[in-house]
Amino acid sequence: MMDDRLSNFNTKVSVLFAMVLILSGGAGAFVIVNTLQLTDSNNVFGPGFYPLILCIMLLLTSFYLLYQLLYGNSESVVIKEVIDKAAAARSFSLLALIIVAVLAMPFLGFIVAMFGFSFIQMTFLDRNKQPLRWRIIYPAVISGGIYWLFTSLSIPLPVPFWLN
């Protein structure tokens, strides 16, 4: 019966993540016990006491989740939606693009980095591709407009380091 359950991809992912949770809860508890005081000088609870309780609760609930997945009422806890790999790839490309833009920001400044981000997003990662003039005008308006809005509220945004 257990093998049946594990043959499903969504169940495998759910079980794997439950194990990740258990491991991180255990690691957290280990770190806390080793590095933080559980009781202070007056023998009342120190800085490590409360996080340790939370780690133990996390461990207990994660074990319960694993139990539900393997032996209990797994329909209520297993991932229901089919994971669409192509869709996830699009989302992660967007995240990668954001990371590149943020990495480039100290060198290019906010306006240029975000203009580049918006242009590339609208060119390669947009399901309704706009005409070229809109893919240039619109990113220019938002990156410039938001820079102007923030600086006029006297909130500074990154400028290229060679302009500083």
Partner 1 sequence: METFGYLIQGFSEIFTPQALFYCLLGVTLGNFIGALPGLGPSAGTAILLPIAASMPPAIALIMLCGIYYGAMYGGTITSVLLNIPGESSAIMSAVEGFKLAKKGRGGVALGIAAIGSFIAGTIGVIALTFFAPPLAEKALLFGPAEKFALLALAFTFVSSFTSGALSKSLIALFLGLLAATVGQDVLTGVPRLTFDTEFLLDGIDFVPVVMGFFALAEVMNEMEKGEATEEIGVGALGRVIPNAQELRESAMPCARGTFLGFICGLLPGAGATIASFLAYGAEKRYSKRSEEFGHGSLDAIASTESANNAASAGHMIPLMALAIPGSSTTAILLTGFMMFGLQPGPLLFTQHPDIAWSLIASMYMGNVMLLIMNIVGIPLFVWAVKKSTPFLVPLVVTITIAGVFSVNNSMRDVWLTIACCLVGYILTKLEFSMVPILLGVVLGGLAETSFRTALRISDGSFMTFLDKPISATLLFISLIIIVAPIVMSNIKKRRALINP
92-111 positions binding partner 1, by CB under 8 A:
92-95, 98-99, 101-102, 105-106, 110
Q: Give 44 or 163: the residue with its C-beta nearer to partner 1.
A: 44
| Binding to partner 1 in span 3-22, by CB under 8 A | 13-14, 17, 21
When asked if residue 90 is in the footprint of partner 1 (CB under 8 A), the reply is yes
Question: Per rule CB under 8 A, is residue 116 in the interface with partner 1?
Answer: no
* Residue spans of beta strands (DSSP E) within 38-87: none
Residues 6+ apart with CB under 8 A from 28: 51, 55, 58
Q: Which long-range contacts (CB under 8 A, 24 or more apart) does 73-81 make?
A: 74/5, 74/11, 77/14, 78/8, 78/10, 78/11, 78/14, 79/10, 79/13, 79/14, 80/10
Q: Which is nearer to partner 1, 4 or 127 (CB)?
A: 127
Question: Does residue 58 bind partner 1 (CB under 8 A)?
Answer: yes
Q: Residues in contact with partner 1, total (CB under 8 A)?
A: 76
The least CB distance from residue 121 to partner 1, in Å, is: 6
Interface with partner 1, residue 26, by CB under 8 A: no
Q: Which of 94, 153, 148 is nearest to 118 (CA)?
A: 94
**82 part of the interface to partner 1, by CB under 8 A:** no
Nearer to partner 1, 8 or 58 (CB): 58
Between CA 78 and CA 70 the distance in angstroms is: 10
- CA pair distance 62, 94, nearest whole angstrom: 31
In this complex, which beta carbon is closest to partner 1, that of residue 2 or of residue 155?
155
